[in-house]
A and B are shown apart, each in its own frame.
Chain A
Amino acid sequence: MELIRNFPDSEILANLRTDNNMAETVKALYRHCFESLSWYIQHNNGSPEDAEDIFQEVLVSFIEMVRNGKFRGESSVKTFLFSLNRYTWLNELKRRGRQKVREEKFENARDTEMPDTSDFIAGRESRNELLKLVGKLGDTCRKILLLFYYENLSMREILDQTDYETEQVVRNKKYKCLKQLEQMIRSEPAIRDNLKNLLHG
């Protein structure tokens, strides 16, 4: 019988940083935090589906923040996730144009929350656009790019998982796919402006 383990924050963070035991770590985060974060959304005009979507978005961003060193452990993981969840949901409500909840609650939340989640909200739209664009790639391109840049497999290992004949062919294909994705991203105005702002201030 599988035992459900409680992961301390230090272990969660170490696993996320080193890409170790990821599936169990994500499940632990679900077990530890999903109920209360979902409750917040469902008691603030959200549906159970909204709660599920926002939680997944929050986890993806949190993992990225941990890996980029942007989460410095100034609060507990749960507190930080709660804060991200709250910001994301208020931001989503604002995006959907629900007048009643808009400015006042958003501003109040910004005043009272401790953890700094400003980077996260600023990049939310771009991040979601990036994810959509990867989803629009062809299956083969997406697979090769994921195997190389996410799974960190070598060309030899990728060759074993595809129908190509040589490593060089895989390498060329991977380059073309990366350029294709890059072009798709370049043609997305919201992302282009965001990146230009980052580059040129």
Chain B
Amino acid sequence: MDNSTNDLREKLADLLDGVLPPEEKTALEKRLETDAELREEWEWLKTARRAVQLYGVQQLVKNSRTAMLQEQVRPVRSLGRHFRLVISAAATVILLLSAFFLYRYVNPQTEDMFAAHYVHYKLSSFRGINEPAQEKAYRAGAWPEVIRILETDSAATIRMQFLAGAAAMELKDYRKAVQQFRTVLTRNENEATRGFQDEAEFYLALALQALGDYSGALALLEKIRQDENHLYHDRADVSWIRQVRKRIH
């Protein structure tokens, strides 16, 4: 590497720093337009400067985050005694409430866990001219009637059985719901069909959970989660599965 090359490189660095005299700046910029090798040198230098600036921003973000976390735990000082007492009392209440909610979050009550995942089963808005009586009753929210119709029909379809299960869920009669959903699954297996299969699996998991049968619920939830094409795949999320699993151990 000769002296002129080194000199040129130093000039490029001066150009980068904005300290090159105007006449030299113009000459160097002209040369950059025609000299590909020099232009590449120039790009490398700019990349090095960009790297330093990026690093500076990264440090700023990290430091701001650290400061923010420290501010959150910094004690309150230089306030009046009365005000400090009020703040302390409020902080205690907040702390206790936070502890309570944290406990509830980490160890959710059965009903919380149920409420967080339960969704009312909604019939499609399309209604045929001869809508069956059970579906009419379901749309009207007449849950006992939905179940009664099923129980008096000796040729009940899988759809009717599922709706009776969904109605039982609304009535919080989880034993009856489990019975209906299991019937749906058994019939599908025996008849080699898939009528309301995904729906029955999801609601059966919920009903079992409500009854405290966490192993049964977990097996279904894991099955749903593993099947990306399952209608309820996204609902059976990892955090729910984790919560149910914790109930078993």
Contact = CB atoms under 8 A, between A and B. Distances in A.
A60 interface: yes
A26 B64 contact: yes
Contacts of A181: 48, 51-52
A2 B44 contact: no
Interface in B34-64: 39-40, 43-45, 47-64
By secondary structure, the A interface counts as: helix
Interface string B178-197: 00000000000000000000
A130 B64 contact: no
B76 interface: yes
A198 B44 CA distance: 12
B58 A150 contact: no
Interface in B68-85: 68, 71, 76, 79
Interface string A162-201: 0000000000000100110110011000010001001100
Interface string A18-39: 0000110011001000000000
Contacts of B62: 56
Contacts of A145: 52
B20 interface: no
A1 B84 CA distance: 12
Contacts of B10: 175
B155 interface: no
A75 interface: no
Nearest to A100: B228
B238 interface: yes
Interface in B215-232: 228
Given A175-B10, A178-B48, A182-B48, A26 B61 contact: yes
A135 interface: yes
B65 to A, nearest CB: 6
B139 to A, nearest CB: 33
A149 B53 contact: yes
Contact of A134 (B44, B51, B60, B76): B51
A178 B13 CA distance: 9
Contact of B52 (A56, A63, A149): A149
Contacts of B55: 130-131, 134-135, 142, 146, 150
A1 B43 contact: no
Interface string B121-161: 00000000000000000000000000000000000000000
A182 B47 contact: yes
Interface in A80-139: 100, 127, 130-131, 133-135
A151 interface: yes
A45 interface: yes
Contacts of A135: 55
Given A43-B239, A150-B52, A182 B45 contact: yes
A145 B62 CA distance: 19
Contact of A131 (B17, B40, B51): B51
24 contacts: A23-B67, A26-B61, A30-B68, A45-B238, A59-B61, A60-B58, A63-B61, A64-B53, A64-B57, A130-B50, A131-B54, A134-B51, A146-B56, A146-B59, A148-B17, A149-B52, A149-B53, A149-B56, A150-B57, A151-B56, A178-B45, A181-B52, A185-B47, A198-B43
Given A131-B54, A142-B55, 18 more contacts: A22-B64, A23-B67, A26-B64, A27-B68, A30-B65, A56-B58, A63-B57, A130-B47, A130-B51, A134-B52, A145-B52, A148-B17, A150-B55, A150-B57, A175-B10, A185-B44, A191-B47, A195-B47
Interface of A: 1-2, 22-23, 26-27, 30, 43, 45, 52, 56, 59-60, 63-64, 100, 127, 130-131, 133-135, 142, 145-146, 148-151, 175, 178-179, 181-182, 185-186, 191, 195, 198-199
